[in-house]
């Protein structure tokens, strides 16, 4: 019996070392002020066009990504960056936290895009607007509407 238990312990130890069963994920939630300050575009927009682009067609500044989609948004409400139509690049998947967006024409998003016009799906501030289900979007929009929030985010570095 003792020999059987030693063999079981050895097998469990061996397989736990050689086989990676799970991958740890650490979600870093950035404060909204910092996200606002680091973004070039902050707006609510409706997707007008979705185009899948391959690695060879990516702009030079976004070559590090394997797959992106080119999204053209019709801007409804803008807090940063003024334009009626904005072209944004985004990957529809994020591995940490696990989430995926199905970008399609007509969907509305709250977008925080960086200087490379990249809409990072892993950023939890980038969300699909759904008035019934997503209470977080209304809270973020209320904060963005406040003059003092935008002013303080622009001048205070933390």
Report if residue 95 sits inside a domain. Answer: yes
* Within a domain: 14: no
The verdict on residue 15 lying in a domain is no
State the total domains in the chain.
Answer: 1
Cβ-contact 88, 118 below 8 angstroms: yes
Q: In the block, which residue shows the tokens 């807090």?
A: 79
> What residue numbers bound the domain in which 111 lies?
32-155
| Residue 134: how many other CB atoms lie within 10 Å | 14
Secondary structure of residue 132 in the 3-state scheme:
coil
CATH of the domain at 62: 2.40.50
> Is 37 contained in some domain?
yes
**Beta carbons of 43 and 77 less than 8 angstroms apart:** yes
Return the pLDDT at 17: 57
Q: What is the pLDDT of residues 44-100, one digit of tens each?
A: 999 899 888 766 666 666 666 667 788 899 999 889 887 788 888 887 777 777 777
In this predicted structure, what is the pLDDT of residue 33? 84
Flag whether 9 is in a domain.
no
- Global confidence as pTM: 0.72
Any domain includes 65 = yes
- Report pLDDT for 48: 93
């Amino acid at each position: 019996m003792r020999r059987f238990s030693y063999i079981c312990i050895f097998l469990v130890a061996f397989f736990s070392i050689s086989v990676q069963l799970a991958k740890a994920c650490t979600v870093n939630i950035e404060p909204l002020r910092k996200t606002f300050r680091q973004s070039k575009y902050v707006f609510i927009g409706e997707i007008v066009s979705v185009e899948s682009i391959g690695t060879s067609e990516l702009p030079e500044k976004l070559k590090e990504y394997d797959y992106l989609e080119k999204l053209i948004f019709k801007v409804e409400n803008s807090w940063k960056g003024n334009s009626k139509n904005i072209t944004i690049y985004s990957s529809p998947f994020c591995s940490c936290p696990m989430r995926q967006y199905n970008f399609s024409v007509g969907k509305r998003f709250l977008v925080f895009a960086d200087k490379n016009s990249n809409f990072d799906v892993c950023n939890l501030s980038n969300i699909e607007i759904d008035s019934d289900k997503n209470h977080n979007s209304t809270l973020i929009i209320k904060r963005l509407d406040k003059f003092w929030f935008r002013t303080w985010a622009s001048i205070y570095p933390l």
